[in-house]
């Protein structure tokens, strides 16, 4: 039984891959990157990407330094396109595709809002990839009927907080949970 069968009213009901094309983008350093939807056949690409992340980057993304399990990698590559969107950034290395970033969202049960996540390979930090991936994810979410994106990050994750601010996300903190910063953006209040 699929997750959609478990939760028939979950998500926006729109295939998130519809209308999303592969797109080439040039980073600040001149490197060409391919942005595309994640596919089930990307398991090894995603596994190699996750395995190559530093402990610090894993900590910022997963809020722990642990390695993602194979089950997590499987779920991340076999998404339910009725309620999830995921874009990966890849480069060509010796004629082979190598993943250097990913941005994704999951729509909340019965709602039109979605939680987002983004992670960039350590070697590609500070080259403009985050803004490209998150901007593209925002566009995908809008096309899929998502009305609000939100996420949480460690308050020490200055790169994510800066990226969120740059793209119009509001920041908030819960009393007693100052180590966590919440980011939120209404997708229909600005174009």
3-state secondary structure of 59: helix
Tokens matching residue 127: 């080259």
Report the topology of domain 3-147.
Aminopeptidase (3.40.630)
Tokens matching residue 142: 């809008």
Q: What is the pLDDT of residue 11?
A: 40
Phi, psi at residue 95, to the nearest 5°?
Answer: 80, 5
pLDDT at 113 over 90: yes
Q: What is the pLDDT of residue 57?
A: 87
pLDDT at 46 over 60: yes
3-state secondary structure of 78: coil
Nearest of 12, 3, 40 to residue 140 by alpha carbon: 12
pLDDT at 151 over 70: yes
Global pTM reads: 0.84
């Amino acid at each position: 039984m699929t997750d959609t069968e478990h939760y028939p009213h979950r998500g926006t009901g729109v295939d998130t891959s519809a209308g999303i094309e592969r797109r080439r983008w040039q980073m600040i350093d001149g490197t060409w990157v391919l942005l595309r939807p994640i596919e089930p056949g990307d398991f090894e690409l995603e596994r190699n990407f996750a395995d190559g992340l530093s402990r610090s980057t894993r900590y910022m993304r997963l809020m722990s330094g642990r390695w993602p399990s194979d089950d997590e990698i499987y779920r991340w590559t076999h998404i339910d396109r009725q309620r999830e969107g995921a874009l990966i950034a890849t480069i060509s290395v010796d004629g082979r595709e190598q993943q250097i970033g990913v941005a994704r969202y999951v729509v909340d049960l019965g709602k039109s809002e979605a939680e987002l996540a983004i992670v960039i390979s350590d070697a590609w930090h500070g080259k403009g990839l985050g803004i490209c991936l998150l901007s593209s994810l925002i566009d995908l979410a809008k096309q899929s009927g998502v009305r609000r994106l939100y996420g949480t990050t460690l308050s020490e994750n200055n790169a994510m907080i800066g990226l969120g601010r740059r793209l119009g996300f509001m920041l908030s903190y819960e009393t007693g949970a100052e180590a966590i910063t919440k980011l939120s953006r209404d997708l229909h209040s600005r174009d």
